[in-house]
Structure 1
Amino acid sequence: MRLGTGITDLLRRRGGLLKVRLRRRATQRRIFQVGTVLCSLALAPSAWLWVSAGDRVGTVASVPSAPVAVVFGAGLDQGKPSPYLEHRLVAALDLYREGKVQAILVTGDNGRDDYDEPDAMRRYLIEHGVPEVRVVGDYAGFDTWDSCTRARRVFGVERALLVSQDFHVRRALALCQAAGIDAYAVGVPELHDSTWLYGGLREIPGAGKAAVNAWLRPDPVFLGPTEEGIPKALADAAKR
């Protein structure tokens, strides 16, 4: 009897351990499945940006001509364009010199008196040979969506070449298209350093925000009245 009882107890313990292991594996499977779903949802907006961009991202040499280049702000260093912003401006200069665009819209943050991205960008382009009338500043481009929707609704841009780093330009392209602009883009290449990596990681939540903006199409932080800078710039180009 004692031997039989011992075997029974042993089998019960083994059965209990088996059930525990099975429950643990089932829990691990559920955690893995939930993690997979969450990762897919997090990356879906990024996939949308790549698909929607299609073949509209190129180089200065390969993109088609458009009336306007739109250059997005990328920070200042002691009041002057940061290295990343300067690279964008150089690409815009190349587009202008190659005759790919006739006017340049620089859009960035001027939310406080001591920080003025658009004027720093304008000065840079004018100092490098672009006529002042051809460089127009948008002082309320607080984020990419605001820049895109203001370009269309405030400045009347209908067709444009967008200029930004390669990790950001697809988001800009998708948002400008959602804003009603027929756009192509120049992706400015950079060394894959820590700054580039940080910018790329920021695009993951940025893609989610872009998907929401493209769906809801909210008003920008500041809309304001229609401005005539771009029509005047294109009229000046038509006279020459």
Structure 2
Amino acid sequence: MKQHLLARGLPLALLALVALVAVLALWVWRHALERIAHPPALVADAALVLGNRAYLDGRPNPCLTHRVDRGVDLWRAGQVRLLALSGGVDREDGRIEAEVMAGHARQIGYQGVLLKEALSSTTRENLAMAWPVLQAAGVRRVIVVSDAYHLWRVERLAKASGFDGAFDVQYAAAAPDCGRPAWQTVRSALREPLAIVNNALNGFL
């Protein structure tokens, strides 16, 4: 009897998980579209650009450089006076994400102040470890920059950790496709609901 119930329960649990991921994916994309349609409108002290894998196929990861591009765009528009770059050692190739981001920012013409947080390895750590760096620089208003589909989780982590209470926070979406084929964008976006579930199970959301 127990084996029979187990045999019936596993498919149901798997189906429930798939349904949950599908609902979260839809919710994340709806939120992403909203963030793209309504970019930050107020001036801030800094843009906090969250890290990502540093290199891909021997070249800077476009999903990282596109985030930096968005931060630099905010600076060029006069919405922020400096950039803060958050990301530690890339476990795949040993490069430091914040350093890669800084190099790209300078390469595309950014001439302002660069703050770097080079120890974090997760989104939650990006926020937590950038927090004292921003405060030490006198930042009170910050625009957090990441991929559009990433921002739903970022916002929940900011609220759960108190980050959005310590700073006046807005959010800016980088290009969601990272300049890549559509199938790669979809694959990346589908990972996000799994990350949300993981964060929730660990009590971070």
| TM-score scaled by length of structure 1 | 0.62
Structure 1 residue aligned with 2:184: 195
Structure 2 counterpart of 1:172: 154
Q: 1:77 to 1:45 in 2, by over 3 A?
A: closer
Q: Which has the larger radius of gyration?
A: 1
Q: Does 1:204 align with 2:203?
A: no
Choose 203-212 or 111-120, whichever is displaced more.
Answer: 111-120
**Secondary structure of the equivalent of 1:201?**
helix
1:121-166 residue CA offsets vs partner (Å, 9 max, x unmatched): 111112333235x111111120111101112245326532122222
Secondary structure of 2:142's aligned partner: strand
Quick one: distance in 2 between partners of 1:158 and 1:45?
A: 32
Aligned to 2:4: none
Deviation at 1:78, TM superposition (A): 7.1
Checking the alignment, whether the CA contact within 8 Å between 2:32 and 2:148 is kept in structure 1 is no
Partner residue of 2:75 out of 96, 113, 121: 96
| Alignment correspondent of 1:147 | 126
The one-letter code matched in structure 2 to 1:194 is: W
Say which SS state the counterpart of residue 105 (structure 1) adopts.
strand
Checking the alignment, whether the CA contact within 8 Å between 2:143 and 2:170 is kept in structure 1 is yes
The CA RMSD over aligned residues, in Å, is: 3.7
Aligned residues: 189
Q: What secondary structure is seen at the aligned counterpart in 1 of 2:134?
A: coil
Q: 1:158 to 1:45 in 2, by over 3 A?
A: farther
Provide the TM-score with structure 2 as the length reference: 0.71
Inter-partner Cα distance in structure 1 for 2:190 and 2:27: 16
Q: Distance between the aligned counterparts of 1:89 and 1:47, measured in 2?
A: 26
Once the 2 structures are TM-superposed, how far is the Cα of residue 105 of structure 1 from its aligned partner?
1.1
Q: How does 1:1-240 map to 2 (within 5 A)?
A: 37-39=16-18, 42=21, 57-58=35-36, 62-65=39-42, 66-74=44-52, 75-77=54-56, 81-110=60-89, 114-131=94-111, 134-156=113-135, 158-182=140-164, 183-187=169-173, 188-190=175-177, 193-212=182-201, 215-216=203-204
Higher relative contact order (CA 8 A, sep 6+): 2
Aligned partners of 2:102, 2:204: CA distance in 1, in Å?
A: 32
Indicate conservation of the 8 Å contact 2:39/2:171, yes or no: no
Rounded to whole Å, the distance in 2 between the matches of 1:54 and 1:200 is: 10
Q: Is the 8 Å Cα contact of residues 70 and 163 (structure 1) preserved in structure 2?
A: yes
**Aligned-partner Cα distance in 2 for 1:30–1:147:** 38
Structure 1 unaligned residues grouped into runs of 5+ = 1-27, 218-240
Deviation of the 1:29 alpha carbon: 9.3
Q: Provide the C-alpha distance between the structure 2 equivalents of 1:46 and 1:179, rounded to a whole number of angstroms.
A: 23
Asked if 2 retains the 8 angstrom alpha-carbon contact of 1:63 and 1:185, the reply is: yes
2:33–2:148 CA contact under 8 A, matched in 1: no
1:44–1:208 Cα change, 3 Å: farther
